[in-house]
Amino acid sequence: MPIRVNGAEVPPPDDARISLLDLLREHLHLTGTKKGCDQGACGACTVLLDGNRVLSCLTLAAQAEGSDVRTIEGLAGDRGGLHLLQQAFIERDGLQCGYCTPGQICSAIAMAEELRRGDPSYVTLDVAAGPPVVTRAEIRERMSGNLCRCGAHNGIVEAIEDMLAETAR
Amino acid sequence: MSKLQNAIIGGVRAVLGQVPAAWLPGGTPDPLIDKRVALGGQQSRVDGPDKVRGVARFAAEVPMEDLLYATFVHSTIARGRIVELDTSAAEAAPGVQLVMTHRNAPKMSVPPAIGITNLKAAGNHTLPIMQSSEIRWNGQVVAVVLADTREKADHAATLVRVRYEASPARTRFEVGKRSAYTPESLLVERNRLDKGDAGKKLAEAAFKIDAVYTTPWENHNPIEPHAATIVWRDGKLIVHDATQMINATAGSLAKIFGLKAEDVHVSSPYVGGGFGAKGMWDHQILGAAAARLSGRPVRITLSRASMHRLVGGRTRTEQRVALGADADGKLKALLHHGYGVKPLHSVCDEAFSLTGRSLYASESFDVVQHYVDLDLLANSFMRGPGETPGTFAIECAMDELAHAIGMDPIELRRRNASTRDPVSGAPHSQNAMMAAYDLGAARIGWDRRTPEPGTRRDGEWLIGMGCASGTFPFTRMPGSSARITIDAEGHAHVASAAHEMGMGTATVQRQHTADRLGLPLDHVTVTIGDSSLPFASFAGGSSQTASLAAAISAASRKLATELIQLAGNDTPLAGLKASEVEFADGGLRSVENPARQESFVSILRRASRRELSVIGESGAPLEILKFSMHSTSAIFCELRVSEVTGEIRVDRLVGAFDCGRILNTKTATSQFKGGMIMGLGMALAEETLLDERTGRIMSTSLADYHVPVHLDVPDIDVLWTDIADPRAPLGARGIGEIGTTGVAAAVANAVFNATGKRVRELPLTLDRLI
């Protein structure tokens, strides 16, 4: 079964060892998805697999057969331009070197969906009280799997707040 | 570094002491200190759109036909030699094209060491690379496996069999301290400082502190792993690298492989975080050697483990600080002694003992540092080298002294802040550290702090507040150059082999060039990141912005001269000298009579020229030898410590900086915050763990080496004095490193204020607090 990557169907690789990350970067030349550690510790390789965030370095390409993979290159859709969150990252300077950025953005987009459907987190004060109130602590906890070494954390959180505020309208 | 260097630099300083300041660079303050349009504003970074869309191309992402992937096999002993090396299974594995070891590696010279006199050298160590069976550190590369996919290379690397004969290795810090050596100089400074009788003054002081502070080995861990895509074409070496030393890497590779300088091309338009780590290490050299041997392009991307085995970090330090003060808190004696690790083959100084020499006007000094020579990987510079561990020791000691006297810690600093260089007596170019303290104290609400430790509480949480000074010297590199090209539309294009690792290099120099040439921002482009562009020094020591600014400024003066020549006699500018014109409104005009003006477009058109190019170069940074040029900061922290678990939660960080004028408020804020967050990591979590029995690093992943994550990072406030440094281009000193300095001390001092526990060892992990 093919893998759908940003809407295009690609055949699964012949070598079963190939991670989804290496399929994207080395075989499809979709290098927007970054390799930071190849061990599931940094989040730079985060992509959306059927809408959920996954670490593509810990996902075998074969696991994505029949699934829909969306990467940073596919976020703006066919319109081109920039996704709301991409624009907010620029406005809030939620990046410096730019290497963790695609992973942060993909992660945050899926995180917004998790918040919307009411998934609790470690910092949710009352898990029985319905959907968690969006606070900076909630965003920070839920984004803690995405490391940034340049220290753009404040800007990233502000950009995500901008996106959440915009989409809540 | 040598006695000779001390003599030369001492001599130049003595001479410059007599030379009028007006004759030196910065003698006439840069007019752009006050004349600002784009500068000083809030500009989004120009490469932001490419970075958020994932189309900014990093070193491991350059497409290449026929590419081979390299994987390294690392030694598992610290010292000794290889006695058996079986590569047959690896060579027979599917897809493997080559296994390179010392038996078949090409001849390569030792890397030329990074130094203050050779800007084309990038060697962090001076050991031969894969030239013999000798092993010098645990993790040294013993084999390079090339295969047509990464998976095949990784697998084949596991099939290489190596047997070693180990020699006794020196891997223990405490043992090594007994035979530590004392370098003559540290960077450009003399190491040993003895001024006044510090021992006697300390003994006689009304108040004294004498304590030992330690900081651990730390690693940069940029999120982009070190990587290079390398190809030889017609005898020329092309390296797509992730480096903050483009020209130095090119120059070094030329030396190592016996090539002409122009036959090495290094390209590095984007670097995914550097912090000092992205220089030249063995991987580019081995990758180039393997590419030559295999006759095919090679991509090497270091795994996290390989990064820790091949790329040096900041040495651990052990620092004794003794402070003596009179009843009014005036410093009578400052003693700062200590140890760091620096193997004899290692190049980069960790000059922590320079910190206390510029901050405070002590009556006497006794300062010296020693290095322990161990069989370990060489060091590298890491953000705020020297001052980052140095401020931890000095600024914790200042806090301890304030507590001993019963004085507010800010007041203690106010009474001792230097008004000129405390050692040489050289005047400050500009310094307003106490103004930074005033800004920061007001922002965090310092008046809410209770001087008595352990007196603020919220349930199980003890609440405290602390402060500390940060400092970093101004540096400007000579020989950096930039080309300005004016095109027929009157647009300016700047080019220089400078670096972008997240600082916003092109963004800020675009603002600078627009203001320098009187152009709107959208008429200026800046291209950096390639050795084919005019020479630039490395991005380090917070020097790049000032060095580039000086180069662009020099180029603009040449541009004025050439434009006047080009304009000839049929111009309103006829008869004017370059010194009598200024850039304005997309052209030149007379300073005296602004009505006499002509645009770039008009000058070029009349001369039938499509474009005009000039190259300017930054001159020798003599100003730093005449003036004491240091940035300073005041860092504030408010935090909670759980009485139950010892967990620290930092609630607020405030950094107030005195770094001259700020050029782009948006990117500068990010730079300062980024530095502070690295300081926060140093304070709370970061530690490279070494197995001292074997010399092997244990913490070789991001799961073992803890950097701050989102939940660790509070809202950070950044403030600045924005007072121009009249001696610096654009009135601005570098801002990349200072953010990290002082933060760990501010956190430790806040922990003391919260709990009454004085922890003198980093990181401040839970076990040290319960």
Which CATH number describes the domain made up of A3-74? 3.10.20.30
Residue B505 near residue B499, CB atoms below 8 Å:
yes
B156 in reach of chain A (CB within 8 A): no
How many other C-beta atoms can be found within 10 angstroms of the C-beta atom of residue B88?
11
pLDDT in tens, B495-525: 999 999 999 999 999 999 999 999 999 999 9
Cα A72 to Cα A29, A116, B224, distances in angstroms = 13, 21, 17
Shortest CA distance to B393 belongs to which of B342, B345, B355?
A: B355
CA A90 to each of CA A96, B53, B637: distance values in angstroms, whole numbers, following the listed order? 10, 11, 28
Orientation angle between helical segments B665-684 and B387-405, nearest 10 degrees: 70
* B67 → chain A, closest CA residue: A26
Rounded Cα distance, B167 and B165, in Å = 7
| Residue B323, pLDDT score | 98
Of residues B248, B259, B314, B258, the one with CA closest to residue B281: B248
* Regions of chain B with pLDDT less than 50: none
Class of domain B185-218+314-475+625-768 as given by CATH: alpha beta
Burial B110-140 (b: 16+ CB within 10 A, else e): ebbbbeeeebbbbbbbebebbeebebbbbbb
Asked if B53 is an interface residue toward chain A (Cβ–Cβ < 8 A), one would say yes
Q: Provide the pLDDT for residue B395.
A: 98
Q: Nearest-CA residue of chain A relative to B50? A: A98
Is the minimum CB–CB distance between B711 and chain A shorter than 8 Å?
A: yes
Q: Does A22 touch chain B (CB under 8 A)?
A: yes
- Amino acid B91: pLDDT: 98
Identify the pLDDT of residue B554.
97
Say yes or no for a CB contact (<8 Å) between A153 and B57. no
Angle, CA of B663, B618 and B731, to the nearest 5°: 30
Residue at token pair 């290496």: A22
Task: Judge if B185-218+314-475+625-768 and B477-620 fold alike in CATH terms.
Answer: yes
User: Could you say which DSSP state residue B31 is in?
Assistant: G
Rounded to two decimals, the ipTM of the complex is 0.98
Give, in degrees to the nearest 5, the angle at Cα B663 between B660 and B668: 90
Residue at A89: amino acid letter: F
- CATH numeric code, B477-620: 3.30.365.10
In a mutational test of the B interface, the residue from A149, A157, A160, A162 whose CB has the highest number of chain B CBs within 10 Å is: A149
Residues in A closer than 8 angstroms to B44, CB to CB, are 90-91, 93
Is the separation of the CB atoms in A97 and B224 below 8 Å?
A: yes
- Smallest Cα distance from B677 to chain A, Å: 6
Q: Say if B383 is an interface residue toward chain A (CB within 8 Å).
A: no
- Residue whose tokens read 């006439």: B28
Backbone angles phi, psi at B517, to 5 degrees: -100, 5
Cβ-contact B746, B676 below 8 angstroms: no
Q: Which of residues 90-149 of A touch B (CB under 8 A)?
A: 90-91, 93, 95-102, 105, 123, 136-137, 139-141, 143-149
| pLDDT at A142 > cutoff 90 | yes
Fold of B60-168+223-273+278-310: Aldehyde Oxidoreductase; domain 3 (3.90.1170)
Q: What is the mean pLDDT of residues A44-48?
A: 98
**pLDDT reported for residue A76:** 87
Please tell me the predicted confidence (pLDDT) of residue B2. 74
Q: Check if the beta carbon of residue A3 is closer than 8 Å to that of residue A19.
A: no
- Sheet containing B587-590: which strands, arranged edge to edge? B581-584, B587-590, B597-599
Does A17 sit within 8 Å of B702, measured CB to CB?
A: no
Which of B42, B51, B701 should one mutate to test binding to chain A, selecting the residue with the greatest count of A CBs within 10 A? B51
Domain ranges of chain B: 60-168+223-273+278-310, 185-218+314-475+625-768, 477-620
Sort out which chain A residues have CB atoms less than 8 A from B52's CB and list them.
72, 82, 86-87, 89-90, 95, 98, 101-102, 105
Strand order in the sheet with B207-215: B193-195, B365-372, B331-341, B317-325, B207-215
Residue by residue, DSSP assigns B51-88 as: HHTT-SPPGGG---TT-EEEEEEE-SSSSEEEEEEE-H
CATH superfamily ID and name for A77-168: [2Fe-2S]-binding domain (1.10.150.120)
- CB spacing of A33 vs B58 below 8 angstroms: no
Residue A78: band (very low, low, confident or very high) from pLDDT cuts 50, 70, 90: low
- Please state the domain extents for chain A: 3-74, 77-168
Using the Cβ of A67 and the Cβ atoms of chain B, whether some distance falls under 8 Å is answered with no
Collapsed DSSP state (helix, strand, coil) of residue B472: strand
B91 is catalytic: no
Q: Does A74 touch chain B (CB under 8 A)?
A: no
The pLDDT assigned to A80 comes to 64
Q: Inter-chain contact B150–A22, Cβ cutoff 8 Å?
A: yes
Alpha-carbon gap, residue B336 to A47, rounded angstroms? 50
| Closest chain B C-alpha to A92 CA, distance in angstroms | 8
Nearest to B514 by CA among B27, B41, B47, B26: B41
Cross-chain Cβ contact B221/A44 below 8 Å: no
Structure-block tokens of residue B609: 């020229």
Cβ contacts (< 8 Å) between A137 and chain B: which residues? 711
Counting residues of chain A whose pLDDT is more than 90, the rounded percentage is 91
**φ/ψ (deg, to 5) at A76:** -75, -10
Q: How far apart are CA B163 and CA B545, in angstroms?
A: 49
Six token digits for residue A168: 């809540």
Contact between residue B56 and residue B529 where contact means Cβ atoms under 8 Å apart? no
B379, B183 contact by CB (below 8 A)? no
The B residues from 178 to 237 touching A (CB cutoff 8 Å) are 220-225
Sheet holding A68-70, edge to edge: A8-10, A3-5, A68-70, A46-49, A52-55
Cβ pairs bridging A and B (under 8 Å)? 186
CB B535 within 8 A of CB B480: yes
A36 closest CB neighbour out of B50, B56, B225:
B225
